[in-house]
Amino acid sequence: MPGIYFGRDGKRRMIHGRTIFWFKRDLRTDDNTGLLNAVRDSGEVLPLYVLEESILGKYTDGGKRLGFFIDALLNLEAELRALGSYLLVLRGKAEEIIPALVNSHKIEAVYTNRAYGFSGVKRDLGVEHQCRLLGVAFRKYDDTFLVPPHEIDQRKVFTPFYNIWQGRKKNAPLDAPPRISSPHLQASPVETMTRDLARAENRYWPAGFPVTRLRDFNFSDYGMTRDFPYLDGTSRLSPYLRFGLVSVRRVYEAAVSASPEPGPYIPELAWREFWYHIMHYFPETRGLEFQEKRRNIKWINSENWYDAWREGRTGYPIVDAGMRQLKEEGWMHNRLRMITASFLTKDLITDWRWGDRHFSEHLVDYDETVDIGNWQWSASCGADPQPFRIFNPTLQSQNYDPECLYIKKYIPELQAVEPEKIHNPLTYKLPYHRPIVNHYEMRNLAHEAYSGGRIDDGYISQIKKDTGLP
């Protein structure tokens, strides 16, 4: 039977005999709000991860995201073992598995951290409903953000949002529980439950990376290094934040320690939360442009151009290097994400949803809410409106990869070519794919398309003919 006690903070706590802690996007024991509360409130905690087919269905990237995810589960299992517990991984639907465990193992409460994504919120509500029917407590905690999206009144522009966000109190990180007592169950090891899933080696994203990265990364120099893809100038923590191997509070703590005044890295964390803020207040923008005036753009949507973009053979080396990095590593430098997104939506006048679909299949750190926000921003149809901006791939290449170190890493066939020629594929004939479009012609066409003008179909046909594409 549950009992009541008063904690050191003077707050009343209910003691449960046995509870479930349901892991989702928080695959860690350190600074895990829901887990710590479950351990404090319970005699025994059953740590659970539900491996749903709807989750696995998103991992169609040939194994990179799946490999990372499996390593994350194995790492969590090791952390729990070190605390005297284990990770129970079951395949199926949470709405069915959790009620079954409640009935079969005398569970008195289910603890979890609050979900915010579309499918996650729906799944939480379904499990909570089942728990209520069974007379079991369902407790969820804010853990994913420094400031939860709903705690700031609606803002459509980042700067006003950020000004409020900065002024809100940020909770300090919590330590991992010293020990977790768990019931003795006959459970298959995580390796057994996931063995048939790991289709590719996780070469680029070791699960323990955040520990050393938070210690060694120079957050104070971020503003000077972040735009140059040939440098190790970004934190590379996005996959770990996405799956919760590191908490946003630990990252914030490290960034603030390096630069007590809000340095250039802190707004990056705020942007992540701004996109969730937008999706909270404007859920329709999941599939619809935030700006109403941009909801009827006449996209060209050439499958051939799209394939060339996806495969890194547009003939613009800076664009193709980014797309090849994505294919090789399951990740892309942020400057290149902006360049490639601008090229798809402005130079190829292709629907941003096509680009988001490709990123969703290949990015290890893909986060639907954040990526949709970023794609709409790049396509000049989202929140936080900017002057209509088209990235010139020649200038981007010259400014941010002047010696072509990044380009040559991912396009080795250009190794012997001088940087000046690589930067100017319209001027020089490279031993490489020829440009599929003329940037300057397409820039003018993009202005016409985005202003609501009708693009002459004959003109489009001529452009395609000139580039040798149907």
> Do 308 and 274 share a structural domain?
no
Q: Is the pLDDT of residue 38 over 80?
A: yes
Give the confidence band of 119 by pLDDT, cuts at 50, 70, 90: confident
Query: Do both 277 and 319 map to the same domain?
Result: no
Tokens standing for residue 178? 């010293």
Averaged pLDDT, 128-156: 96
pLDDT score recorded for residue 418: 98
430 occurs within a structural domain: yes
Q: Kindly state the tokens that stand for 127.
A: 């499990």
pLDDT at position 469 is 54
Task: Tell me the per-residue pLDDT of 144-171, one tens digit each, with 9 for 90 and over.
Answer: 999 999 999 999 999 999 999 999 999 9
Q: What are phi and psi of 463, to 5 degrees?
A: -60, -45
Range of lowest pLDDT (52-66, 78-92, 376-390): 52-66
Q: What range defines the domain where residue 135 resides?
A: 3-143
pLDDT at 460: 65
**Whole-angstrom Cα distance, residue 307 to residue 265?**
34
462 within a domain of the structure (yes/no): yes
Average pLDDT over residues 28-46: 97
What is residue 416's predicted lDDT score, i.e. its pLDDT?
97
Average pLDDT over residues 285-313: 95
Residue-level pLDDT at 466: 60
Residues 252 and 378 in one domain: no
Which of 245, 172, 261, 171 has its CA nearest to residue 213? Answer: 245
Answer yes or no: is 192 within a domain. Answer: no
Quick one: pLDDT band at residue 10, thresholds 50, 70, 90? low
Q: Give the amino acid at 74.
A: L
Q: 183 lies in a domain?
A: no
Checking if the pLDDT of 328 tops 80, the result is yes
Q: pTM for the whole thing?
A: 0.92
Q: What is the mean pLDDT of residues 450-470?
A: 65
pLDDT at residue 211, as a whole number: 95
Domain shared by 407 and 460, yes or no:
yes
Asked if residue 433 is part of any domain, the answer here is yes
Residues known to be catalytic: 268, 271, 299, 334, 352, 375
Tokens of 284: 């329709």
Considering its fold, how many domains does the chain have in total?
Answer: 3
Cα distance between residue 90 and residue 73, in whole Å: 12
Judge whether residue 200 has pLDDT over 80: no
User: By C-alpha distance, which of 389, 147, 151 is closest to 271?
Assistant: 147
What's the whole-number average pLDDT of the chain? Answer: 91
* Between residues 121 and 240, the one the model is more confident about: 240
Nearest to 311 by CA among 286, 287, 328, 289: 328
Tell whether the model's pLDDT for residue 9 goes beyond 70.
Answer: no
CATH of the domain at 95: 3.40.50.620
Can you give the CATH number for the domain in which 402 is found?
Answer: 1.10.579.10
Q: Given this model, what pLDDT does residue 67 score? A: 87
Is there a single domain that holds both residue 217 and residue 322?
no
Q: Is the pLDDT of residue 114 over 50?
A: yes
Whether residue 344 is contained in a domain is answered as yes
Query: Torsion over CA of 277, 283, 286 and 287, rounded to 10 degrees?
Result: -150
pLDDT level of residue 384 (50, 70, 90 thresholds): confident
Burial category of 340 from C-beta neighbours within 10 Å (exposed 0-12, middle 13-18, buried 19 and up): buried
Q: Please, which pLDDT band fits residue 143 given cuts at 50, 70 and 90?
A: very high
**What is the C-alpha separation between 251 and 215, in angstroms, rounded?**
10
Instruction: Please indicate, yes or no, whether residues 31 and 68 belong to a single structural domain of this protein.
Output: yes
Nearest C-alpha neighbor of 111 from the set 51, 41, 55, 43: 41
Token pair, residue 5, equals 């006690």
- Cα 218 to chain centroid distance, Å, stands at 22
pLDDT given at position 286: 93
Closest CA to 300 of 357, 361, 344: 344
pLDDT of residue 457: 65
Q: Does 303 share its domain with 413?
A: yes
Same-domain pairing of 20 and 117: yes
Statement: residue 201 has pLDDT above 80: no
Q: For position 218, which CATH number holds? A: 1.25.40.80
Distance CA 230, CA 335 (A): 11
Residues 224 and 367 placed together within one structural domain of the fold: no
Q: Average of pLDDT values for 344-357?
A: 97
For residues 314 and 234, membership in a common domain is answered with no
Portion of the chain with pLDDT greater than 70, in percent: 89
Give a yes or no: residue 205 inside a domain: no
Pairing of strands 88-91, 109-113: unpaired
Q: What is the pLDDT of residue 15?
A: 81
Which residues does 256 contact at the CB level (< 8 Å), separation at least 6? 266
Answer yes or no: is 115 within a domain: yes
Higher pLDDT, 263 or 336: 336
Residue 435 pLDDT more than 50?
yes
Average pLDDT over residues 114-141: 93
Question: Does one domain contain both 20 and 96?
Answer: yes
Q: Distance (Å, rounded) from C-alpha 278 to C-alpha 154?
A: 8
What integer is the mean pLDDT of 462-467?
62
Determine which of 196-205, 261-270, 332-341, 380-389 has the lowest per-residue pLDDT on average.
196-205
Instruction: For residue 50, list its beta bridge partners.
Output: 90
User: Is the domain of 298 the same as that of 439?
Assistant: yes
The residues pairing with 140 across neighbouring beta strands, listed in sequence order, are: 112
Phi-psi category of 272—alpha, beta or left, where left has phi over 0 and alpha has psi -120 to 50?
alpha
Cα–Cα distance between 211 and 190 in angstroms, integer?
23
Does the structure show a pLDDT above 60 at 60? no
